[in-house]
Chains A and B, each alone.
Chain A
């Protein structure tokens, strides 16, 4: 279980997250919605361990392992994954080499690189990632949709226990959203990954059918409910929360 208990987060001396608690069981999907500036992305980065975000209070644990004192790579090895809103470009490093290094960092030395490569090819096909992207530099010159799909591919390869998807649907067209959502569902079905999906739109949630929808405003979860809540929010906006 991913357990977030009453966390408070600052950037510099500005307090952004003011006491969020959330429990996610393996295989569950929790959606977090909310207006801009409500602290959703800060929560995502905080879970992954970005050094710019200071946790002043509270705890984050995966299966009782406290993540608070761990560096981002240690958290990844404990099973945390963040699908970035803006995946970073790394030139000269091919997607497949990067995946190999990341896989080995988490699971130890590969027995066969060729086998691994064909495994990646299969996954890419399944997740509708263009095969030529695998050999290109990581995210460099990728379209928005390609970047997001490669994030999902990374998640499939690294098999996290819990994943935070930070606006994975933003900037994508309808077809791309569906493809990404199907990828997420496939991974959940196969690996029983628990997920926190941060989004502004109800569209991706139609495909994901979250177990819970939370509304975040001013650094707090102000309302939680079933997936009907997402539809209401789409209709009425966040005016009542700000």
Chain B
């Protein structure tokens, strides 16, 4: 009960009815083109590959990855993974026979769902292109002519492999080899969907590309695979959002995102992760940044049961730079284990990691970061700032920073704060007439504001709205 409540108010217990999650509806799966039986096997991998008519090298690569997955043990660190039942998951769910350019050609129920999620409107004005994925496959996608005429490629990963097999073969798995971790191995074995982006030399894509990932079926696994290649001097911003129905059973989302930032190029990758809180979100994201290139990860995690995600960059060329802006909000039952990795391999490389986390209602946030400055990276700089806000005594936040420095003449800064919403702050705002809920919202918004203002406007508005929604009913 609120410390500020008038005396003798009836206590209010949170229940499932109060669940503020807005995107919890689902569609039936009886019209799906194909649903794999639960469980993982070489046979399933072959089946997926044959559905996609893939070249032999990809099938073999998948099978190698599967063997590696089976050989690797589960991570002994991070969140609780012991309840994932790999044998109960549907690894491949194909809702339609193919991708459509126009919404008219998408099955009515899927179109309606995406309309409820608001994606088609955004596409019309603000975006250069979109990919909308429903379970395992991209069902709709487009790229405005102005960009395709300049040679920009924006396809689903499957289409990318079909149309540009050499380019895909050249880069696929080079930034994140399947043996990187158990879940990158899993993704490589059963990947489906995701985006393939190529931006030619010197082209600046001034509007964002957007992908939307919707899990729809129960016990679904979603394993999209994204590869972005920004050629020399190009610029592109890519944003993704994701939601899922409110099933009581858990789902698994395990993506791999590889980004190649060539000399002098710039890529900004924004994620607004809003899975329902029964989704395991175990994602590997990494960028390889060449000379004077710049990579920015804006990674916002609101949803999921457990997220383990550490977007990273390998600063491989002289003067390359990377920045991660990470925000996590963990409510009841959630654990956001997030952070970033900065690997400096070349001289005069710069990285910044800013992490802000909010835990409430027994939720748990973890900042886990690694800064590695190699022997050739003299003159490099790194700065890490992590701030945690803990809203109540049941909630928890931990910080695990690792710094490995193998050369002299570098500069490292690390700042960390942990704060609680103090009674003093609440009282101050309430003494001006704000209710306790309004006051808490204001404090949380203010805490998140330095990161939110770095987002494109429409995402900033959405993030503020999500934070407000998450805070609603959290006091009282």
Contacts and interface: CB of A to CB of B under 8 A. Distances in A.
Given A71-B436, A102-B432, A105-B432, A93 B442 contact: yes
B428 A88 contact: yes
B446 A137 contact: yes
B448 A70 contact: no
Contact of A76 (B7, B425, B432, B448): B432
Interface stretch (A3-11, A45-53, A193-201): A45-53
A101 B434 contact: yes
A218 B468 CA distance: 45
B126 to A, nearest CB: 24
Q: Is the interface of A mostly helix, strand, loop or mixed?
A: mixed
A93 B442 CA distance: 7
B144 to A, nearest CB: 34
Interface string A141-176: 000000000000010001000000000000000000
B385 interface: no
A176 B434 CA distance: 29
Nearest to B451: A92
A101 B434 CA distance: 8
A105 B434 contact: yes
A90 B446 contact: yes
Contacts of A91: 446-447, 449
A90 B436 contact: no
B430 A73 contact: yes
Interface in A51-85: 51-52, 69-77, 80-82, 84
B4 A71 contact: yes
Interface in B416-438: 422-425, 427-436, 438
A92 B451 CA distance: 10
A76 B104 CA distance: 55
A90 to B, nearest CB: 6
A232 B232 CA distance: 80
A139 to B, nearest CB: 9
B438 A71 contact: no
A102 B163 CA distance: 58
A77 B445 contact: no
B6 interface: yes
Contacts of A117: none
Contacts of B423: 51-52
A52 B423 CA distance: 9
A87 interface: yes
A96 to B, nearest CB: 13
Contact of B431 (A69, A82, A93): A82
A80 B430 CA distance: 11
B3 interface: yes
Interface in B324-379: none
A73 B433 CA distance: 4
A238 interface: no
A98 interface: yes
A87 B435 CA distance: 18
Contacts of B5: 71
A106 interface: yes
Contacts of A158: 432-433
Interface string A89-109: 011110000100110011000
A92 B387 CA distance: 13
Contact of B433 (A50, A51, A77): A77
Contacts of B431: 48-49, 72-73, 75-76, 80-82, 84
A106 B434 CA distance: 8
Nearest to A74: B6
Contacts of A73: 4, 430-436, 439
Contacts of B435: 73, 105
Interface of A: 48-52, 69-77, 80-82, 84, 87-88, 90-93, 98, 101-102, 105-106, 137, 154, 158
19 contacts: A51-B3, A69-B6, A73-B4, A73-B433, A75-B431, A76-B433, A77-B433, A82-B431, A84-B428, A90-B443, A92-B446, A93-B442, A93-B446, A98-B432, A101-B434, A101-B442, A102-B432, A102-B434, A158-B432
